[in-house]
A and B are shown apart, each in its own frame.
Chain A
Amino acid sequence: MTKISVVRSVLKANDAVAEVNRKRLEAAGILVLNITSAPGSGKTALLERTIPALAPGLRSAVVVGDLQTTRDAERLGGLAVEVAQINTEGGCHLQATQVADALDTLALKDLDLLFIENVGNMVCPASYDLGEHLRVVLLSVPEGPDKVAKYPTIFQPADVILINKMDLAGLLEFSDEIVRADLARINTRAPLFKVSARTGEGLEAWYDWLRVQHRARFGS
């Protein structure tokens, strides 16, 4: 019996592809955002609002991951933007290779922003770098105020956090006090925006943040 000692990163294959994705998109002047949330928090609805609001100043495309169906891609396709749908067929998160394949189908030279809508899941996507510049995490009012405390590993690396469906806050007696208190010990860096993708409430601050992030990285 022989014991072989090694140091090999198990996720190195993914991380290497993620780095290639990042370089490729950076060279094209595209800011990449990896959006994660629980299923049904409103990732697609947020993009349906955001993408037209930023155009034509910032031109967007979407890579969207789901276990099954092309329904999100069909919704977003209505915006006349390029959408690449990935079906993970049971996989609980996107991986960098899937994004790399999706990039081949997009006209990168005509883009400023790429939104990667991850599979709805607050655990697994935390471990997979896709080549993004920034991580967006969404929670929504009907989910209750405990998401940050329950899923710290997704909120800790977040660059921006949105509470969606604020139009329901009164009805559901939702208060963001607990969210803020939990973030105070998990992530004080990410700005917190309270929005409603349905009514449009609060979205200007999110749009401004996106414009600032793009300008900070790529100028003008």
Chain B
Amino acid sequence: MHEMSIAEDLMRQLEELAIENAIARVESVTVRAGVLAGIVPEALDMAFACLAEGTVAEGAELHLEIEPALAECRRCGHRFEPEIDAYLCERCGVADVTILQGRDIILSSVSCEQRGNGDDEDQRGP
């Protein structure tokens, strides 16, 4: 259950982004996570919904895209897509890899309403 701390980090990133881009309300958030990051989608959804309450992201939808892993054999340099429980290099027969991709969790896009677009209550005149 490390989804709660992932959601905390995600909210921190969203709050930074909201300030930089004058975001008034977040409609949806897309997160790309590697298959080896060990995220349970339902748990992340729930943690995100809880933490988003009372922020610009309250009620926002979370889209989670799972990406495949990429491994590089430390012995021969061969690159291949490992299974979560199989890291054997087909070229040299050892399971000794560096994971190049598949552990990352990336905030990749945010759909939102920005202040100053004319569709915002902050635009009301005096």
Contact = CB atoms under 8 A, between A and B. Distances in A.
Nearest to A5: B109
A156 B99 contact: yes
B106 to A, nearest CB: 6
A11 B6 CA distance: 7
A7 B106 contact: yes
A5 B108 contact: yes
Nearest to B21: A4
B107 A10 contact: yes
A2 B117 contact: yes
A109 interface: no
Contact of B9 (A10, A186, A188): A10
A74 B20 CA distance: 47
A46 interface: no
Interface in A44-73: none
Which size class do A's interface residues fall under?
20 to 34
A153 B38 contact: yes
B87 A10 contact: no
B53 interface: no
Interface in B73-108: 74, 84-88, 94-97, 99, 103-108
28 contacts: A1-B111, A2-B112, A2-B117, A3-B109, A3-B112, A4-B23, A4-B109, A4-B110, A5-B108, A5-B109, A6-B109, A6-B110, A8-B107, A10-B107, A92-B2, A95-B5, A124-B2, A124-B38, A126-B38, A127-B37, A183-B95, A184-B88, A185-B95, A187-B96, A188-B94, A189-B94, A189-B95, A189-B96
Interface of B: 1-2, 5-6, 9-10, 12-13, 17, 21, 23, 27, 31, 36-38, 74, 84-88, 94-97, 99, 103-114, 117
Interface of A: 1-11, 13-14, 91-93, 95, 123-124, 126-128, 149, 152-153, 156-157, 183-189
